[in-house]
Amino acid sequence: MKAPGWTAAAATILILTGCAEAVPVGNKAPNPVEASPPSSVPYGSPVPSGQASGAPVQAITIPLGKQPDDVEARLPINGYYAPPGTEVTYDASESVGVVVKYEWDVDGDGRYDQTTSHPILKHTYRAEFEGRMILRVTGIAGGTDILETPVRVGTAPPFPYLAPARNVRLEVLSTAGTVSEVKVTWESSDPTVYRWGVAVDGIPAGMREGSARSVNVTDVHHDDDVLIEIIGFTADGFMGERAGAVLAAAE
């Protein structure tokens, strides 16, 4: 989980590449754009022979203040379980930045088994396996980020079950425009929770110790409704079910 605090990008910059269609990408797009690295002529260079000077370009937006190679690999859960012969879906759609390449090491042996431009990989483990899957994402300017997640394929019970938090409640402590400080409280009687994670609209925002039952979240931008969730984690990093409440859009 990341340290608390969020920012709302008020502006973007444009990077022009020599692709065939113009596709704007928002700061929080649900699915990263499938784009190829700008392997054509660098911006400002003469147009190659046979290419029309008026050919459309692809416009890729990057949040102001971010570098083009600022990427972060993300998966929706930390830990995957399946019986042998079952298809496992790895979804890296929530990865951060302009990702142009996804590399997947499905058995954690240090060699990437598949490379895709799409953020979703479906893989079937035919035999029992216990290890890790490694994902490496590459940004449009060549920056990379690596994420590892545990994988268990077998007939034994999956990762430890954590009961979701109960009665998640939100209390607005202060508001300035559409930015608020919010107190989140919850209940739980599950002794296996080592830490609690906090997520705002699905984005990790901080962690608290397992004995905590409240947390103050600052700088919550809620021009629209915002979902704030509490997630339990074991000491080994396995994630439980989410539970949350919606903070209504500021009037």
Please report, for the chain, the start and end positions of each structural domain, with discontinuous segments joined by +.
80-153, 166-247
Residue owning tokens 């608020």: 180
Q: Give the mean pLDDT of the chain.
A: 76
Locate 128 and state its tokens.
Answer: 């029992």
Q: Establish whether domains 80-153 and 166-247 are of one fold.
A: yes
Q: What's the pLDDT at 241?
A: 82
Domain 166-247 CATH (choose: 3.20.20.140, 2.40.50.140, 2.60.40.10, 3.90.1170.40): 2.60.40.10
pLDDT of 171 strictly over 90: yes
Locate 52 and state its tokens.
Answer: 């029309």
β-strand 80-82 against 144-153: which pairing, if any? Answer: parallel
C-alpha 239/C-alpha 63 separation (Å) is 30
CA-nearest of 115, 120, 112, 114 to 95 is 120
Q: What's the pLDDT at 58?
A: 42
Percent of the chain with pLDDT over 90: 48
Domain 80-153 has CATH 2.60.40.10: yes
Condensed to tens digits (0 to 9), the pLDDT of residues 182-226 reads 999 999 988 889 999 999 988 888 889 999 999 999 999 989 999
Condensed to tens digits (0 to 9), the pLDDT of residues 59-109 reads 444 444 445 558 999 998 777 888 899 899 999 999 999 999 999 999 999
Instruction: Please tell me the pTM assigned to this model.
Output: 0.43
∠ at Cα 74 (88, 61), nearest 5°? 125
Condensed to tens digits (0 to 9), the pLDDT of residues 115-129 reads 999 999 999 999 999
More confident residue, 21 or 192: 192
- Do 86 and 152 form a contact (C-beta atoms < 8 A)? no
CA-nearest of 129, 137, 131, 133 to 148 is 133
**CB-count exposure of residue 107 (10 Å: 0-12, 13-18, 19+):** middle
